[in-house]
């Protein structure tokens, strides 16, 4: 799948963001090695702590459906309207990625639009990460 299409799906996922507290809306589209896409949005909570990031929503949807192998994730975020800056995955989400992905190969696409995006590997965003291979 083209990066452009994955970004389009992340933008679509962002429409579902439930962010009444921060008002910062995030969407993610996670591509499996078999070519399936799982979308996720951030889901906030009045008690704050139970809030979930868009990336983890996508991962947990996929893993709970039996998926274990992933190729890439596109992420978009920002306040109301079209994104104006890159939304990088938080540390907790990077650690969840580390659990299920080959960090040298897994691609993280942070996007402002379908045309304007950056692509980095998980190893670049989480160097020397601790994962299943360490145990």
Catalytic residue list: 55
Distance in Å, CB of 83 to ligand THU, minimum: 12
Whole-number Å distance between alpha carbons of 91 and 56: 11
Q: Cβ closer to ligand THU: 66 or 127?
A: 127
Distance in Å, CB of 5 to ligand THU, minimum: 21
Which positions lie near ligand THU, rule CB under 6 A? Answer: 19, 22, 24, 26, 42, 44, 51, 53-55, 89-90, 93
Q: Cβ closer to ligand THU: 35 or 110?
A: 110
Residue 1, number of CB atoms within 10 A of its CB: 14
Q: Cβ closer to ligand THU: 3 or 18?
A: 18
Whole-number Å distance between alpha carbons of 132 and 39: 25
Distance in Å, CB of 105 to ligand THU, minimum: 20
Q: Cβ closer to ligand THU: 54 or 62?
A: 54
Q: What string of DSSP letters covers 54-76?
A: HHHHHHHHHHHTT---EEEEEEE
Q: Contact 55/61 with Cβ under 8 angstroms?
A: no
- Bridge partner residues of 43 (DSSP): 18, 52
The number of CA neighbours under 13 Å toward the Cβ of 64 is 7
Distance in Å, CB of 1 to ligand THU, minimum: 21
């Amino acid at each position: 799948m083209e990066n452009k299409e994955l970004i389009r799906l992340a933008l679509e996922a962002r429409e579902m963001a439930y962010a009444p507290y921060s008002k910062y809306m995030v969407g993610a589209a996670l591509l499996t090695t078999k070519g399936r896409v799982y979308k996720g949005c951030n889901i906030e909570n009045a008690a704050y702590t139970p809030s979930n990031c868009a990336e983890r929503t996508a991962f947990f949807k996929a893993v709970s459906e039996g998926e274990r192998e992933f190729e890439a994730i596109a992420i978009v975020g920002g306040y109301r309207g079209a994104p104006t800056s890159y939304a990088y995955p938080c540390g907790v989400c990077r650690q969840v990625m580390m659990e299920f992905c080959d960090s040298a190969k897994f691609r993280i696409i942070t996007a402002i639009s379908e045309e304007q995006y950056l692509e980095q590997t998980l190893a670049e965003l989480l160097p020397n990460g601790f994962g299943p291979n360490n145990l």
